[in-house]
């Protein structure tokens, strides 16, 4: 049975992917910062399949934790076929209001954690003669939206690094792939590291927060498109670089462009979308 290690399984996509891969014939290492906080569904699965479904503690921002989780997976299952770098954190806030420490937290979680986990699994996958690294990016990797500079930048960087890695590693049978979801209802907004806008940015923050809130309110709860995209990324014979998921359900671009448009006449010079 192929083995998958998934990060960020406490909620949202990670929890759904752990359940889905387990029911599609994979041995699963479901990793969380706090395994004791796993959902009842995942705990039931671990009880039902104690040889094939394991929890491991993993804070993707900690080097020691990353190494321990990968070692655990290989020790218990003897191989690692798929790494899904799913853990991530959002943040809304004006650029000027966002201190370096927050940029570092965002990049440690959304970029450096996935990159370093990839570096840990690459020798294992090369030795096996194959493997898949699936990095959960976002449409935010290609859209650059105001009030989300750190999130968009971290996902854009992950998208770029994934593309380069895929070219380097495919000669070893290892493929690196972006899973690029649009908005879905998960715990992301509740866990987001949002910052209150300072007075100069209050108006633009209110404007965009209304746009983002409306998009989140309309976001689908059914995570099937994300699951289907991840399974395809893991199994397609010649995978694409990017697997969008749910982007059709909610067109992202029109509301963001509509939110940008009224800012032009009030003297804000907006460039650089795309
Ligand atoms: N939902 C969307 O609309 C959407 C759209 C595009 C992309 N995404 C991306 O999809 C991925 C999953 O997000 P989600 O929507 O499922 O949100 P979620 O429910 O908030 O899940 C995020 C997961 O990441 C974990 N996490 C955060 N920091 C971590 C760290 N340092 N180490 C280990 N785990 C950590 C969280 O664990 P804790 O419980 O410990 O915080 C949680 O399990 C993220 O990369 C997100 O950027 C989401």
What distance in angstroms lies between residue 261's CA and the mean position of ligand 1's atoms?
Answer: 30
Note whether residue 119 is domain-resident: yes
Supply the angle between the helices 202-218 and 253-260 in degrees, to the nearest 10.
160
Active-site position among 26, 151, 201, 243: 151
Note whether residue 272 is domain-resident: no
* pLDDT for position 116: 98
The closest residue, in CA terms, to atom 43 on ligand 1 is 8
> Can you say how many angstroms the Cα of residue 190 is from the centroid of all Cα atoms in its chain?
16
Low-confidence ranges of the chain (pLDDT < 70): 264-274
* pLDDT for position 272: 44
Note whether residue 20 is domain-resident: yes
Give the pocket of ligand 1 (CB within 6 Å): 7-8, 10-14, 33, 58-61, 86-89, 109, 136, 138, 181, 183-184, 186-188, 191, 219
Nearest Cα to 179, choosing from 217, 218, 132?
132
Determine phi and psi for 5, rounding to 5 degrees: -115, 125
Note whether residue 58 is domain-resident: yes
pLDDT tens across 46-86, in order? 999 999 999 999 999 999 999 999 999 999 999 999 999 99
Note whether residue 273 is domain-resident: no
Q: For the chain, what is the domain count?
A: 1
| Domain ranges, residue 111 | 3-263
CB 247 within 8 A of CB 211: no
Probe target for ligand 1 pocket from 56, 88, 153, 189, with the most ligand atoms within 8 Å of CB: 88
Q: How far is Cα 106 from Cα 95, in angstroms, rounded to an integer?
A: 13
Q: How far is Cα 107 from Cα 176, in angstroms, rounded to an integer?
A: 19
Residue 231 token pair: 């399974």
Ligand 1 atom at minimum distance from 151 CA: 47
Nearest Cα to 121, choosing from 75, 71, 65?
71
* pLDDT for position 254: 82
> Can you say how many angstroms the Cα of residue 261 is from the centroid of all Cα atoms in its chain?
29
* pLDDT for position 265: 54
pLDDT tens across 137-160, in order? 999 999 889 999 999 999 999 999
> Residue 186 belongs to a domain with what CATH number?
3.40.50.720
Q: How far is Cα 259 from Cα 13, in angstroms, rounded to an integer?
A: 28
* pLDDT for position 253: 81
| DSSP sequence for the chain | --EEEES-TTSHHHHHHHHHHHHTT-EEEEEES-GGG--HHHHHHHHH-TTTEEEEE--TT-HHHHHHHHHHHHHHHS---EEEE---------GGG--HHHHHHHHIIIIIHHHHHHHHHHHHHHHHT-EEEEEE--GGGT---TT-HHHHHHHHHHHHHHHHHHHHHGGGTEEEEEEEE----SSHHHH----PPPGGGHHHHHHHHHHHHHHHHH--S--HHHHHHHHHHHH-SS--SEEEESTTTS-SHHHHHHHHGGGTTTT-------
* pLDDT for position 143: 87
């Amino acid at each position: 049975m192929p083995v998958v290690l998934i990060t960020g399984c406490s909620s949202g996509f990670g929890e759904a992917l752990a359940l889905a891969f387990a029911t599609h014939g994979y041995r699963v290492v479901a990793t969380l910062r706090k395994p004791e906080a796993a959902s009842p569904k995942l705990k039931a699965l671990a009880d039902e399949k104690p040889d094939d479904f394991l929890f491991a503690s993993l804070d993707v921002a900690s080097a020691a934790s990353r190494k321990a989780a990968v070692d655990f997976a290989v020790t218990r299952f003897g191989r690692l076929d798929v790494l899904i770098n799913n853990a991530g954190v959002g943040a809304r806030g004006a650029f000027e209001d966002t201190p370096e420490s927050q940029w570092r937290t965002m990049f440690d979680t959304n970029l450096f954690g996935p990159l370093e986990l990839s570096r840990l699994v690459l020798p294992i996958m090369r030795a096996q003669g194959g493997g898949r690294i699936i990095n959960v990016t976002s449409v935010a990797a290609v859209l650059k939206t105001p009030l989300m500079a750190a999130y968009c930048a971290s996902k854009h960087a992950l998208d770029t690094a994934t593309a380069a890695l895929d070219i380097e590693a495919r000669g070893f049978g290892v493929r690196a792939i972006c899973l690029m979801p649009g908005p879905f209802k998960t715990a992301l907004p509740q866990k987001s590291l949002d910052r209150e806008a300072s007075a100069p940015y209050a108006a633009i923050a209110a404007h965009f927060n209304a746009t983002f809130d409306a998009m989140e309110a309309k976001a689908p709860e059914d995570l099937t498109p994300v699951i289907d995209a991840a399974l395809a990324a893991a199994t397609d014979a010649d995978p694409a670089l990017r697997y969008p998921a749910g982007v059709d359900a909610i067109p992202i671009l029109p509301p963001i462009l509509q939110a940008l448009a009224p800012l032009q006449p009030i003297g804000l010079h907006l460039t650089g979308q795309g």
